[in-house]
């Protein structure tokens, strides 16, 4: 594996992001959704790039003094290599610099690797959203992280 570069998502990245979406999610976002996100002043998107290829990305929205993580996706062949942790650490740094007090996200209750990853970064479960996900229908675990 080459050097991992974490940087802001650019419009030229969207086609590669769409490929990651199709591979990682049962209901992938549309290309237009990502184009809109890049125009949204309250949205922050970071990518992980190796040798010019986007292998992962993460997005979040700022809502007043909180941040809501929208997506974290890593291509299967690049999982368990610390790339998602690098993206989460970058987003935590962005939140710190932006005076954000809390971070939140939803994750499938069955997605133990992701839940453990978020716990490692200081997130804790506070409840569930019934039937939040489709394809297949599943509850979401709601997790929060207080910023120090």
Indicate which residues carry an active-site annotation.
106, 118
What torsion, rounded to 10 degrees, do the Cα atoms 34, 60, 88, 72 define? -50
Q: Are 56 and 73 in contact (CB under 8 A)?
A: yes
Q: How many helices, marked H, and strands, marked E, lie in the chain?
A: 4, 7
d(Cα 146, Cα 22) in Å, to the nearest integer?
32
Residue 72: exposure state from Cβ atoms within 10 A (0-12, 13-18, ≥19): buried
Interstrand relation of 138-146 and 4-8 (parallel, antiparallel or unpaired): unpaired
């Amino acid at each position: 594996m080459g050097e991992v570069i974490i940087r802001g998502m650019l419009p030229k990245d969207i086609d590669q992001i769409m490929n990651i979406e199709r591979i990682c999610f049962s209901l992938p976002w549309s290309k237009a959704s990502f184009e809109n996100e890049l125009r949204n002043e309250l949205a922050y998107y970071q990518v992980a790039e190796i040798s010019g290829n986007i292998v992962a990305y993460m997005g979040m929205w700022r809502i007043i003094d909180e941040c809501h993580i929208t997506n974290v996706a890593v291509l299967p062949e690049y999982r368990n290599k610390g790339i998602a942790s690098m993206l989460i650490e970058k987003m935590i740094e962005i939140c710190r610099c932006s005076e954000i007090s809390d971070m939140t996200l939803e994750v499938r209750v069955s997605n133990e690797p992701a839940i453990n990853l978020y716990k490692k970064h200081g997130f804790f479960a506070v409840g569930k959203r019934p039937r939040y996900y489709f394809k297949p229908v599943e509850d979401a675990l709601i997790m929060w992280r207080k910023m120090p």
